[in-house]
Amino acid sequence: MKKIGLIVFGLILPLILWEIGLRIVGGSFLFSQKMRNLAHLFETGTYRVLCLGESTTQNQWPRPLQTELNRLNIGIRFKVIDQGVGGVNTDIILSNLDASLAAYKPDMVIVMMGINDGEWVWTNPVADESARGLRMFLKNMRVNKVARYVIGGIINGRVFGGRAVSTREEKLAAPVFTQRGNRFEDDILGADAHVISSDIEKIDPSERLSVEQIQADPFGSNGYIKLGDLYYGAKQYDNAIKVYRTWLKNDPRNPLGYIKLGKTYQQRGEYDKAEMAFRAGIQANPRFGQLYLRLGNLYVQMREYAMAENAFRMAIRQDPRNLEGYIELGQLYIRMGRPIEAEETFRRGVGIAPDNELGYLELMKLYNRRGESEKAIKMAEARDTVSPGDARRYSVLGDIYRDNGDYEKAERAFVAAINSVPRNTEHFMKLGEFYEYRSDFYKAGKIYEMVIKLEPRHEQGYWNLAHSYMQRGEYAKAEGLLKRKMELIPINAWDYIEWGNICQLQGDYEKAIKMYEMSIRLDPKATQGYVKMADVYHKQKKYREAEDILKKEYDGMADAPEMSAESAARPRKSYLRSSTIRNYRRLKDAIMKRGIRFVCMQYPLRDIGPLKEVLGSEDGIIYVENKTNFENELVKRGFTDLFCDAFAGDFGHCTPLGNQVIAQNLAGVVMREVFSEKRGDSPPAVSN
């Protein structure tokens, strides 16, 4: 037994040492990477508020919070910096803290985090706790991640790692790709020739011309592109895939064929096949940068951010003059919570394409997102002298003015965008959404009517117009519009969701449930149908039915949190896992030792009690609960008025109204606890 024990110890010890080494090296690399070039200019006389969290923070409540704080007009200008990053857990938030504090030098930090740790459980909190904890520990070991990456690289042929692939490396990788390529040819490039060789007289006239072109030139591209795109646009993805597969069978080195095939699989949610298609295209065309870009976009959708970064960097190496690569990589860095690198990447893009407005627009959006709106506006004014009348710039300016509460300037900017490109429906949609944001549903409806007039098959235009009719109480108009849309455009699951909303607003709950059931049949993976049905059951006090339908939603969600959920109406008990407690405490200590105000905010409908027990009542901690305010709103409104989904069981990502509820509550607490004259404190210092 001693010998066996020594052998086991001898096998485990190198893994332990390797794990420690990887964590030290990884931490050092992350720190040095985040601390590079942190020179940032901030406006004097502003009070900077840094918001930390995940997808429930990112592009959610920070913007309306800035509007609410500045609307109170207490003589201090507030800058709210949104540092929420979708998909992160408390480990990642804590690891990025030093860089965020150094970059933004905040006067206050607001944190709402923990839901992605898998720590929120409501039933049997002790059951299976040890097994779940062990599984999470093993999954997050650096040794395990490196091993999975290496094995995945061998299996999947991941030959690019953030640098250009040499000719020698391409030759070495060829056997791997050939093996994957053979599988691709067997599994993906089936003949399926019946799509283009069927009796031409039986084919729809809209397809006939393309089919004739394919039959006349089976090795050409134009016929396949037209026919495949026709099917893709009509959402007949099976037929589109067959066409693209046949095209690639005849022309296996055509990069566009792989892009279109991969994009179609991606649209259907078949990410493994999409990845295989893009990789097979790279094998056939290793220098074609667009294939790397499409693969990177796929990895972003899969939340494989490290792989996406490698793909985008490869795209830039293959085509250093292509601005799209810099834009995609910079946007990825924003998602990953790396704003300094995002700014550097966008600036590199501006450097290689100084006459292209896209790089400047991304910089403007980045500055606005981190609370430097004046800097963004100055850049827009400077660009207007060089390239006047750019509609996209007016549109971004409209967003900036809206986020800062300057609604008159925002409206003028959106109108200027429309006047610059009068037939571009995208700018009309932005103006309509602005009017909706301002609750001016009559003006919004008029704008959406213009959208449909310009583009009679504009799906979102119909849905937004129907929503504006509903908000005005014109239910018959909304229902008639949806019927007209469903006759003109292929039926979408969202058509039935909107129809169900109309029925629900009129109190016809049974018909509403039937509409939501229809939406689920059309798209079982979409969450809205389940959430809407649960909302109706909740209003009918059918709590068991609400619970059952939400469980069906969780079963169909690929990224569902590991938890058991009860009905949205029932009170729930929450507790924190040890890792989350540790990260909360470390984050609190790191913030408060710098003399920064620390605000700990709880999720909607959750009890603040567990967080108070963890962090205590130490002077300087400000607690914000979002339980009573949301419960009060739910008395007056439906669940879906406040939440877009129910991914966490009792709450989800907020609608604009839900975010406004958070912002108003948070602004009130901050004013009362920090800036109230009744406290007798001297006014807090502002950053210079």
CB 268 within 8 A of CB 211: no
Is residue 198 over pLDDT 90?
no
What is the residue-wise DSSP string for 608-657? SHHHHHHHTT-TTEEEEEESHHHHHHHHHS-HHHHBS--TTSS--SBPHH
Confidence of residue 144 (pLDDT cuts 50, 70, 90): low
What is the DSSP code (8-state) at residue 562?
S
The percentage of residues in the chain with a pLDDT greater than 70, rounded to a whole number, is 75
CB 173 within 8 A of CB 159: yes
Average pLDDT, the chain: 78
Of the candidate ranges 9-18, 389-398, 617-626, 659-668, the one whose mean pLDDT is the lowest: 9-18
Among residues 541, 543, 546, 542, which one has the least CA distance to residue 530? 546
Confidence of residue 426 (pLDDT cuts 50, 70, 90): very high
Confidence of residue 664 (pLDDT cuts 50, 70, 90): very high
* Higher per-residue confidence, 498 vs 191: 498
Is residue 187 over pLDDT 50?
no
Of the candidate ranges 15-19, 124-128, 477-481, 586-590, the one whose mean pLDDT is the lowest: 124-128
Mean of pLDDT values over 359-383: 90
215 membership: H or E segment, kind and range: helix 205-216
Is residue 100 over pLDDT 80?
yes
Mean of pLDDT values over 582-610: 89
Mean of pLDDT values over 443-470: 94
Residue 225 neighbours by CB distance under 10 Å: 19
Mean of pLDDT values over 445-453: 96
Confidence of residue 679 (pLDDT cuts 50, 70, 90): very low
pLDDT for the residue 532: 84
Confidence of residue 213 (pLDDT cuts 50, 70, 90): low
pLDDT for the residue 316: 93
* Higher per-residue confidence, 551 vs 420: 420
511/233 Cα distance (integer angstroms) = 31
* Higher per-residue confidence, 356 vs 234: 356
Of the candidate ranges 226-230, 563-567, 679-683, the one whose mean pLDDT is the lowest: 563-567
* Higher per-residue confidence, 87 vs 145: 87
pLDDT for the residue 89: 80
Backbone φ/ψ region at 665: left (φ over 0), alpha (ψ -120 to 50), beta: alpha
Of the candidate ranges 13-22, 52-61, 156-165, 362-371, the one whose mean pLDDT is the lowest: 156-165
Is residue 69 over pLDDT 60?
yes
Is residue 108 over pLDDT 70?
yes
